[in-house]
Structure 1
Amino acid sequence: MKNLTPFDPVPLRAHFPALQLEVGGETAIYLDGPGGTQVPQSVIDAMSSYWQHGGSNSGGPFLTSRYTDDITNAARAAMMDFYNARRPEEIVFGQNMTSLNFSLSRALARTWQPGDEIIVTRLDHDANISPWLLAAQDSGAVVRWLDFDPTDCTLRLDLLPDLLNEKTRLLTITYAANAVGSITNVRRAVELAHAAGAIVLVDSVHFAPHGLIDVQALDCDFLISSAYKYFGPHTGILYGKYELLDELMAYKVRPAPAKPAGKWETGTQSFESLAGVTAAVDYIASIGGKASTRREQLVQAMRQIKAHEMALSQRFLSGAVQVPGLRVYGITDVEQLAERTPTFAVSVEGLSAEAVATKLGEQGIFVWHGHYYAVAVMERLGLLDEGGLVRIGFVHYNTFEEVDRVLHAITQLK
């Protein structure tokens, strides 16, 4: 493996008030990022500033309403840069990824006939499975499952051609697995699906804080994420090719706009959260330093973030093999770090996942346990009824010292 030259996260940590929390006299370690990251002060300020300024609902002919429209437009432009969408109208905001996915599944299901087929994967979060299972049930479509290899938890894209045929209407696929960190070759999956005439939706919720998203390069039809996974507020963001958003029938109230993206944004949006979305994107872009455009800053930032997170992963995996009874699921080869995020599902011999998470939590080390809504993953691994696994997730604000501390804490568990 080539030497990695990560950036120093310490100066960036000063931007995050929550990272100063202490438990028992020790600085807390946030390793629960896959369930939601902490936010920098700039996001907090942006959201509170909206309230302090005084906002109104959108579309009104007066100052505070125009201010809200400006906030919304700025957020749409920010996410256009973050996704590398072609136009701001391809960006749709919603309560969260799950709600947006249910809305989209209902709209797409109207276009299916009994006997049509869709493909879901066993590596996905259930928010990218259940909406489609229900949509298939309502429309009479057949569900086909794309499996993953339980030895390293990588998606079996080699099996995808056998599932695709002239009846396939949709492939819905994860960019990175929230449970085990495996990154999918989405571009290849899109090529295969499009060759069969199918639409592709990508769940990028877990991938978004760890890698650069480029919907034009992927050529996916839809892509979805949640800003609270990348240092922002609890808001979901859907990308859709303009022509698809335009032609599909959205379930909406009658006075709602008829054109993207407004027709897909049901009800009043959380405008203060949209201010936070822009601030979150700008925070990530700031890591990239000076560049002529925000998109170029994001490209540079994600390159640095990836390098640092790969170094964290290398440190964790190298130390994990020295911890008796610790098992890491997923990719463990340090030569394949580019193929995974720094998210690790682990078990400790003799202890339940809940017991491990509880004991670590008492020491100020925050990790998740259970299935983390990756129900199909835990079922495939045979661990769902056994309480699932412990999930240790690093992001760019984590340090080598925190990696060492969690490994040491695990060695002391009894």
Structure 2
Amino acid sequence: MDSNEGIFFSDELMQEIKDRFYYVDSDLDNRERLYFDNAGGSFRLKKAVEQFSKIDSIPDNPERIHQTALFLQEMQETGTADIRTILNANGGTVFCALTASAAMFDMVRAIAENIRGGNMVTTVLEHPSAYDAMTYYANKLGKELRVAKSDPVTGGVDVEEIAKLVDRDTCLLNVMYASNISGAKLDIENIVKRCREINPDLYILVDAVQHAPHGVIDLKKTPVDGINLAPYKFFGCRGSGISWLSDRASILPHHKLGGKKVGFWDLGSAAPWQFSVVTEIVDYVCWLGGKFMDSGERRELFVCGMNRIALHERALLSRMLNGTAEVAGLRRLNGAKVFLDYADLSKRDLIVAIGIDHLDHIQAVREYEKRGVVVYERAASSIYSKRMLESFNMDGAVRISPLHCNSAQDIDKFLQITAQLCEMN
């Protein structure tokens, strides 16, 4: 994992991977395209979609004692165990919501309302579900909201920039795992360590929605109090947000039915498909890990699979930035600019922000679409981009977000199309 250029999957394995997902090389009308907007919602595993349809068609309530209900209960237990496999989490509480954003608001509320402390700390790069939740409860409860600045060199937020805002009166730190504009990974392990040195009782929440499809999460190394995932950005389906809470966070007062256990967080009847889709995601990553190692331990296979995904994506990122002898990469393409570029690719997830000199960002996105490439504009007019872009003194960017399902040839095709845009009059 120390290669800055990454390691591509073999052509044979690459085809096997593509065959397991829907619409990697074409759209629903069978038109050839490159879908490079996975940061907005990733390619769907065929088995995850099939399992969603199969399980959600079952009318049975899992809170019963007949055979089908018991089958659904077992499915939920397996899925819950697989959420713990993803996170390497023991104890605590797993709960599902309609979205990861809703879950984040719930977690922030429980901590902010019930833990003493006059201030709360977050970063300027947070998704609105975290930043706005922190703002809302800080204002409601009369707590000071402290916001760590971004680093225009790394595209992330430095450990010490966060740590200097934390003190013994901080009740909550809320920080994201990776930026959804620059792709920069925050050093969560050292952020947790450093901030807990200052305040050992500090509650910490992490937004892992953007990072989860790209690398390993290990709560034994980063012992936080809450973390959320969104399966639709992790090869799964929309309509599900998944979170884990530590033992001490899970028992804080929160919305729940009075008869449920103190650490129970789900409201209403469970949707078993949410859990079965997670199992399909973990099955897939373990299958991939099994291509590189022989193990009967599920977490070990999962970690291997995610590490190989990270290496392949790093190779894709290197190819996109540096190109080849035949195809110019973004770094040496006249008329293109890579924003927030950073030499150490091990510090990045597979997200790149670029500009085309003579096209505004929306125009560039439309021109890409005409040529069969789907990308996304991050504009300062958007509530999902404004705060982050302004922190980098940017007015916008074209965000490029492939996934490990893409090949080196896909990157080359994208670079060739980008060169065409750069040559437009």
Judge same fold: TM > 0.5, yes or no.
yes
Q: Which amino acid aligns with 1:93?
A: C
**Seq. identity, %:** 24
CA deviation after TM superposition for structure 1 residue 375, in Å: 3.4
Question: Secondary structure of the equivalent of 2:52?
Answer: helix
* Kept in 2: contact 1:152–1:331 (CA 8 A): yes
* Kept in 1: contact 2:314–2:346 (CA 8 A): yes
* Kept in 1: contact 2:156–2:182 (CA 8 A): no
Residue 139 (structure 2) aligned to one of 121, 137, 140: 137
- The aligned residue for residue 382 of structure 1 is 393
Residues 128-167 of structure 1 mapped to structure 2, 5 A cutoff: 128-167=130-169
Whether 1:352 aligns to 2:360 is: yes
* Kept in 2: contact 1:126–1:375 (CA 8 A): no
CA distance in 2 between partners of 1:27 and 1:218 (Å)? 42
- The aligned residue for residue 114 of structure 2 is 111
Residues 54-203 of structure 1 mapped to structure 2, 5 A cutoff: 54-87=58-91, 90-112=93-115, 116-195=118-197, 196=199, 197-203=201-207
Whether 1:242 aligns to 2:247 is: yes
Structure 1's 56 and 273: CA in aligned 2 closer, same or farther, altered over 3 A? same
Residues 223-242 of structure 1 mapped to structure 2, 5 A cutoff: 223-234=227-238, 235-242=240-247
CA distance in 2 between partners of 1:51 and 1:167 (Å)? 46
* Kept in 1: contact 2:111–2:249 (CA 8 A): no
CA deviation after TM superposition for structure 1 residue 3, in Å: 5.8
Q: Which amino acid aligns with 2:374?
A: F
Deviations 1:236-295 (A, max 9, x none): 1111112321x201112334x2243xx211223332232212111211121100421210
CA distance in 2 between partners of 1:198 and 1:326 (Å)? 44
Higher mean C-alpha deviation, range 95-104 or range 263-272: 263-272
- The aligned residue for residue 396 of structure 1 is 404
In structure 1, runs of 5+ residues without a counterpart are: none
- The aligned residue for residue 42 of structure 1 is 47
Aligned residues: 402
CA distance in 2 between partners of 1:131 and 1:194 (Å)? 22
CA distance in 1 between partners of 2:248 and 2:23 (Å)? 42
* Kept in 2: contact 1:112–1:141 (CA 8 A): no
Whether 1:296 aligns to 2:307 is: no
CA deviation after TM superposition for structure 1 residue 80, in Å: 0.8
CA distance in 1 between partners of 2:30 and 2:106 (Å)? 46
Question: Secondary structure of the equivalent of 1:201?
Answer: strand
- The aligned residue for residue 17 of structure 1 is 22
* Kept in 1: contact 2:87–2:217 (CA 8 A): yes
Question: Secondary structure of the equivalent of 1:217?
Answer: coil
Whether 1:206 aligns to 2:210 is: yes
Structure 1's 190 and 374: CA in aligned 2 closer, same or farther, altered over 3 A? farther
Deviations 1:191-249 (A, max 9, x none): 1222213111111111111110111111112111111111012221111112321x201
Question: Secondary structure of the equivalent of 1:215?
Answer: coil
Whether 1:222 aligns to 2:226 is: yes
Question: Secondary structure of the equivalent of 1:170?
Answer: strand
CA distance in 1 between partners of 2:61 and 2:28 (Å)? 41
CA distance in 1 between partners of 2:43 and 2:368 (Å)? 19
* Kept in 2: contact 1:190–1:218 (CA 8 A): yes
Q: Which amino acid aligns with 1:249?
A: P
CA distance in 1 between partners of 2:148 and 2:212 (Å)? 22
Question: Secondary structure of the equivalent of 2:42?
Answer: coil
- The aligned residue for residue 29 of structure 1 is 34
CA deviation after TM superposition for structure 1 residue 109, in Å: 2.1
Residues 261-340 of structure 1 mapped to structure 2, 5 A cutoff: 263-289=264-290, 290-318=294-322, 319-333=329-343, 336-340=344-348
CA distance in 2 between partners of 1:105 and 1:222 (Å)? 9
CA deviation after TM superposition for structure 1 residue 369, in Å: 0.9
In structure 2, runs of 5+ residues without a counterpart are: 323-328
* Kept in 2: contact 1:29–1:402 (CA 8 A): yes
Structure 1's 55 and 24: CA in aligned 2 closer, same or farther, altered over 3 A? closer
CA deviation after TM superposition for structure 1 residue 71, in Å: 2.0
Question: Secondary structure of the equivalent of 1:85?
Answer: coil
CA distance in 2 between partners of 1:94 and 1:317 (Å)? 38
- The aligned residue for residue 410 of structure 1 is 418
Give 1 or 2: higher helix fraction: 1
Q: Which amino acid aligns with 1:110?
A: E
Q: Which amino acid aligns with 1:92?
A: F
CA distance in 2 between partners of 1:340 and 1:301 (Å)? 18
* Kept in 1: contact 2:6–2:313 (CA 8 A): no
* Kept in 2: contact 1:27–1:364 (CA 8 A): yes
CA distance in 1 between partners of 2:270 and 2:362 (Å)? 36
Question: Secondary structure of the equivalent of 1:208?
Answer: coil
CA distance in 2 between partners of 1:400 and 1:109 (Å)? 46
How high is the TM-score relative to the length of structure 2?
0.89
CA distance in 2 between partners of 1:18 and 1:185 (Å)? 33
Question: Secondary structure of the equivalent of 2:163?
Answer: helix
How high is the TM-score relative to the length of structure 1?
0.92
* Kept in 2: contact 1:154–1:330 (CA 8 A): no
* Kept in 1: contact 2:153–2:342 (CA 8 A): no
CA distance in 1 between partners of 2:6 and 2:397 (Å)? 29
CA distance in 2 between partners of 1:90 and 1:10 (Å)? 38
* Kept in 2: contact 1:22–1:364 (CA 8 A): no
Structure 1's 364 and 3: CA in aligned 2 closer, same or farther, altered over 3 A? closer
Question: Secondary structure of the equivalent of 1:412?
Answer: helix
